[in-house]
Structures are given as C-alpha cells and as structure tokens.
Structure 1
Amino acid sequence: MTGVAIEQMLELWCVELRQVKAHLQSLFAHPSIAASAAAFLDGVLGPERRKTGWMRAEAAGDPGPWRQQAVLGRSHWDANALRDMVRDYALETLASPGAVLVLDETGFLKQGQHSCGVGRQYTGSAGKITSCQIGVFAAYVSDRGCAFIDRQLYLPKDWINDAIRRQAAHVPDSLRFVTQPEIAAQMIARALAAGVPFDWVAADTIYGVGAIEMQLRRAGKGYVLGAHATDQFSS
C-alpha cells in the first residue's frame, strides 16, 4: 500500500469494515442484534481508552449499554463459529506454509468476583498473583503479518467445582476442568483439523515438553517450546 493517500487508506478500511460487518450478520438470528454487534465492534475500535459499556453506548448514540450488553449476554449466537470465521478471514491474507503458530496466555485484571473465571492466580500482565481472568490465545505469524486465530478462557478448579457460581455465569454443565497446556493442545488440534498452514509452534515453559511436543511430532510440525531446568529429555 506504499504511496496511497491517507484519505484512500481510510476509505479502504471503511469498505473492508462494512464487508466484515455484513459477513458477521449470518451469526445472528435478528437484524437488530447484528446491528448491535456492529456497534459493539465500532466501540472496540474507537478512540476511547476505557471500553466500558456506557462509553461504548455513548459512541454508538444509544441511551444506555443495554443493546450491546444483550449481544454479550442475552442473545444466542455461536461464539465458536465467530472464532472460525475470524481464523478463515485472517488466513485469506496471511496464510503461508512456513508460518508459526504462537501459543501464550495473558491475564485480565479484575476487581470483582463475578466475572467468569476470575480468581487469584498468577498473570504476567501484573507479574504477580492477583485477581484476574486468564485467557489462552493462538496467534498466526507469517512473513505477511500476524493475527489471533483462536482463544479460550481458562476456568480454575474452584470455578468448575462451584455449581452455583457456574450457573450464575452461564457456564455449560458439560464443561470440565482443563489445564492451560490442554487448552493449547486443543487449539493445535483445531488448527490442524482446519488445514491451517504452518510449519512451527512456539510457546513458553507453561506448555513445555510433554504432550504438546508429542502431538507436534506426530503431526510432523517443528516446535520451539520453553523448558524448565528440571525437565527431562530423551534423545
């Protein structure tokens, strides 16, 4: 895009964003919910530093945050279908046989106790044990750029074992406890099943050697995985 005027670049972005919003409409049963989802997307991409419900509503011209909250809470739509849609959209531009799948987790600091998965746990975001949510993410990195293509919220055991808390947060009864490495392994399996082209996987010591290493060896994929000093290796 070298040499393109700023006005042209902005118009290209606007056209692409409109196409993305139109594509997302298939996820929602009613046009009004799709419109609220589009307004939510505008708010997330907007200039406000804090993305509260009221600030997003004000940016959309709504009298309150209820329409956008409905998208996140009361409306029924398939979040995993959106995940796959985002992955396919990213690969249209970024796909490359020599790409790298990068796995890592991050923490979202939380003061309250009601957000799904919140608890006192270690997060690199704060560099300590604190009240937060933990999400595991997969990023696709090639010589054409990078983008997130998968995500999953980590639920600690005390959440999984607390039926009242699960019900209040609308956590499905079928969900069982899985560790962060197990979540990462599921992401690798989804990428392989979807035919995502990549040669390598990179991850830190949480994912280390073990089941993920064996999974990648069987799939014929290279890997760079962090290891602890106490980990055992066999040649």
Structure 2
Amino acid sequence: MMERKNGWQVAEAVGEATPYAIQHLLDRAKWDCDGVRDALCAHVSEKLSTPKAVVVIDETGFLKKRSKSVGVQRQYSGTAGRIESCQIGVFLSYTSARGHALLDRELYVPKNWADDQKRRQEAHVPDSVTFATEPELAQRMLERTLDSGLPVAWVTGDTVYGSARSLRMALEERRQA
C-alpha cells in the first residue's frame, strides 16, 4: 500500500525548506489543465515520438466514500473489481521505443450528474461539461492527439472502446490502425 505523505515530507523530497510552496501548489494554485496537456503533447512530440508509437486508451476508477466529488456514484470500478462509489477517469497514454507518457485525461460525468443543475453548481462544474460516454471521451482525446500531428502507428483499448462503433468508424475515416 502506498504511504501518504504530508506537506512537509513532499517539500523535503523535492528539496524545499518549508511546505508552503507545495501546499499552495496543491491547494490554491490555478491551473490551466488543457494548457499543461498541450505543452506535454509538444514535449512528447519532441522527446518520445516515433512512427511506430502506440496510443493506449483505458479507464480507471477512483474509490470515493462521499458523493460530493464530481461524477461520484455507485458504478463498476475495475480498480475495485466490483460496483463501488467512485469516479471514473478515461486516460490516453503514448508509448514508443523512446519512452511513454500519460498524455490526456477526461473525467466521466454520469448522466444523472450531468443533468443535476443544483449538484453541478455546488461542485462548480462548468456549463461546457456535458454527458459523454467513455468511448466518446476517448474519441475526443484521440482527435486532439491525432490532430496535433503526433505520429501514431496503432490505437489500442479494451472491449469498451473496441465495441464502440462510432469510435472505430472515426479511426477508420482517418485510416488510423
């Protein structure tokens, strides 16, 4: 089991004398998540890309005891191997002979969450976030990645994605293996 580190331990591990900068980064700093994703994609393109690279799509569950976090509900989690109270994240990673990187992410927001305006407001969910299936989220990430020009020989994923006709059709239209 992974040990949780407090602010002092994390600060010490990265060479900081006090935990204040780390606490600010983790608790109060404003992030442009999409900007960080795009910068990471550029870095991966420069350092890891090869014509034989593979993109891997997979989802994972984050077990949650409470229901206030966006998207939490009782749903199947591969992490737990059963139905649990959790969030589901869909992830896209890039793998080549030069290395690998987690390149993109989307949070699955179940329909009942997406349709509950009061709950959305309490959790500060932007209006731009709408219901999408896990394969639809994967397709968004694939389009961003492939549109960036990053070379990809193959796209892989489990049966959730392989069974999604619209996702397969989108890849076939691009002539993407």
Residue 56 of structure 1 aligns with an amino acid whose one-letter code is G
Q: Structure 1: which 5+ residue stretches go unaligned? A: 1-47, 223-235
The two structures have a TM-score, normalised by structure 2, of 0.87
Corresponding residue for residue 168 of structure 2: 213
More helix by share: 1
| SS across alignment from 1:206 | helix
CA distance in 1: counterparts of 2:139 and 2:93, whole angstroms: 14
Quote the residue 2:83 is aligned against. 129
**1:101-140, Cα deviation, whole Å (9 max, x unpaired):** 1000001111111111111111110100101110000010
Q: Deviations over 1:146-191 (max 9, x none)?
A: 1111111110111111112111211101221000000001111101
Which consecutive unaligned segments of at least 5 residues does structure 2 have? Answer: 12-17
Q: Which of residues 183, 190, 207 is equivalent to 2:137?
A: 183
Q: TM-score w.r.t. structure 1 length?
A: 0.67
Partner residue of 2:127 out of 161, 168, 173: 173
Q: Structure 1 or 2: larger strand share?
A: 2
TM superposition shift of 1:65: 8.0
Q: CA deviation at 1:201?
A: 0.4
**Which residue type is aligned with residue 161 of structure 1?**
D
Aligned-residue RMSD, C-alpha: 1.9
Distance (Å, rounded) in 2 between the aligned partners of 1:57 and 1:173: 37
Q: For residues 30-67 of structure 1, what are the alpha-carbon distances to aligned partners after superposition, in whole Å with 9 as ceiling and x for unaligned?
A: xxxxxxxxxxxxxxxxxx8225xxx1355332369862
Runs of at least 4 residues off by over 6 Å? none
Kindly name which structure, 1 or 2, has the bigger radius of gyration based on alpha carbons.
1
* In structure 2, C-alpha distance between the alignment counterparts of 1:85 and 1:192, rounded to whole Å: 15
Match of 1:170, SS? coil
1:5-51, Cα deviation, whole Å (9 max, x unpaired) = xxxxxxxxxxxxxxxxxxxxxxxxxxxxxxxxxxxxxxxxxxx8225
The 1:163/1:181 distance shift into structure 2, 3 A limit, reads same
Q: Residue deviations 1:52-97, cap 9 Å, x none?
A: xxx13553323698623112xxx3x421011111222223221011
Aligned mates of 2:119, 2:56 — CA distance in 1: 32
Aligned residue for 1:115, secondary structure, equals coil
Residues 56 and 214 of structure 1: CA distance in aligned 2, closer, same or farther (over 3 Å): same
**Retained in 1: the 8 A contact 2:10–2:22?**
no
Quick check: 131-140 or 200-209, which moved more?
200-209
User: 3-state DSSP class of the match of 2:90?
Assistant: strand
Number of residue equivalences:
168
Q: Given the alignment of the two structures, is residue 59 of structure 1 paired with residue 13 of structure 2, yes or no? A: no
